[in-house]
Each structure stands twice: as C-alpha cells, then as structure tokens.
C-alpha cells in the first residue's frame, strides 16, 4: 500500500532492468535540465539508483532554479549533484558544465494564461538556447500530449502518427519547442528525440540525426 509520500517517491524512482542496461550502455554522465519540477526529482533519483545498481560510475547532475530548496536537499542526499541556475539567463547557461547526455525537462504550463510571453520564452526560446549550448550532446526533450488535437473518446485517443494541432498558447509553445529542437538537431547533427511527459518510453522521434 502506498500510504506516504516517501513510499510513492521510492516507487517512482525505482529502476528496472531497462534502466540499468541503459546506464551500462550510456557513454558519460547525465545532465538533467529543469530537474526541480513535477517529474524531475523522481527521474534524477531513478537515474542515480539505476547507475548504482548497474555497478557503473556515472555523474548525475540536476539543474533548476530550485525554488523549492527541500527538493534540492533531497537530491543531494540521494547522491545527485545539483546546480541552481536561471535557465532564461544566457550567462548562467554558458556557465553550465558540458555533458554528453542531456534530458531537457524545463517548461512552463501553470500560470500560462496570465503571462503568455513567459510561457513562450520558457517553452520555445529556451529550447533554442539550450539546443545551441548542447549541440554536441545527445538530447531527449520532454514534450506534451497537448500538441495533438482534441479527439473523440471513442477513437481511443491521439497517437504519435496524429498530425499536431495544438489548442491554446501553452500547447502551441510546446510544439514550437519540438520544432526548434528539430531545427538545431538538423543544423548541428545533434542526436535528439522528443518524449511525451506521460510516456517517455514510447518517445516520438523528432529528429533522424542519430540514435
């Protein structure tokens, strides 16, 4: 029974065989951008546990503003290096460490209606900045099912083959993020993929530049 937040966190961060195999196969460490949000802490801990259980030495670095300092403290206690940074500040982006593997989780959804320009800056312009900064890395960018149109419940839902038709500025800015990662991937031959936040395993590839 999951009756405490700590039990839920432990379950969400528990690695499986595929996670451990991925860590063994991955060259170099992992940098997680926007790691202080809804899913980032669990993913970072899962990566750390997977590497440790696989018996491989991997640096796991989590980057965020960390407005919630408790989340940063928990990550540090789990053996994850943390960096506090404002990713909308190009000077702070320049100071981030190089990394061969990057997961991009930075984004803005809640509050979008009151500050659409900030939503676009975070979801689109930031993607361009970081795609340029980490053009030599392998990048996985989290996306959203909101890039797809509304469909009938009876249809079974949109699939990755459904043409995007985002409704509203948040969804539109997320599609812009995908297109910008696709553009810079093509320009720099950066291996990139976009994964929906609800199902990172069945990721929709947004670039054919590499695997």
Range of the domain at 34: 14-204
Model confidence over 131-187: pLDDT tens digits?
999 999 999 988 888 888 888 888 888 887 888 888 888 989 999 999 998 888 888
Sheet holding 138-143, edge to edge: 81-84, 60-64, 30-33, 101-104, 138-143, 192-196, 199-204
Residue 87 lies in a domain: yes
> Is the residue at 6 inside a domain?
no
Q: Which H/E stretch holds residue 90?
A: helix 90-94
Question: Residue 19 sits in a domain of what CATH number?
Answer: 3.40.50.720
Between CA 41 and CA 34 the distance in angstroms is 10
Q: Is residue 80 part of a domain?
A: yes
Inside any domain, residue 75: yes
Is the distance from CB of 194 to CB of 183 less than 8 angstroms? no
What's the structural domain count of the chain? 1
Q: Is residue 190 part of a domain?
A: yes
Cα separation, 59 vs 80, in Å, equals 8
pTM: 0.83
Q: Is 199 domain-assigned? A: yes
What number is the average pLDDT over the span 48-77? Answer: 91
Residue 210 domain-assigned? Answer: no
Interval 186-195: pLDDT, tens: 888 887 666 5
d(CA 3, CA 102): 33
Q: Among the listed ranges 55-64, 113-122, 134-143, which one has the minimum average pLDDT value?
A: 113-122
Q: Write down the pLDDT at residue 52.
A: 93
């Amino acid at each position: 029974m999951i009756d405490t937040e700590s039990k839920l966190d432990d379950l969400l961060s528990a690695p499986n065989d595929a996670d451990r195999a991925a860590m063994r196969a991955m060259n170099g460490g992992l940098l997680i951008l926007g790691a202080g949000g809804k899913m980032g802490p669990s993913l970072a801990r899962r990566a750390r546990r997977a590497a440790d259980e696989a018996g491989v030495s991997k640096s796991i670095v989590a980057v965020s503003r960390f407005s919630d300092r408790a989340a940063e403290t928990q990550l540090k206690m789990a053996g994850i290096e943390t960096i506090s940074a404002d990713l909308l500040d190009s000077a702070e982006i320049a100071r981030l460490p190089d990394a061969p593997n990057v997961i991009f989780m930075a984004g803005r959804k809640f509050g979008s209606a009151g500050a659409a320009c900030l939503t676009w800056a975070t979801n689109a312009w930031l993607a361009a900045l970081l795609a340029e900064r980490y053009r030599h890395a392998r990048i996985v960018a989290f996306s959203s099912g909101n890039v797809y149109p509304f469909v009938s419940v009876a249809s079974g839902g949109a699939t990755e083959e459904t043409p995007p038709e985002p409704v509203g500025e948040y969804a539109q800015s997320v599609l812009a993020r995908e297109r910008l990662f696709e553009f810079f991937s093509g320009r720099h031959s950066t291996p990139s993929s976009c994964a929906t936040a609800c199902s990172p395993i069945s990721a929709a590839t947004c670039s054919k530049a590499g695997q």
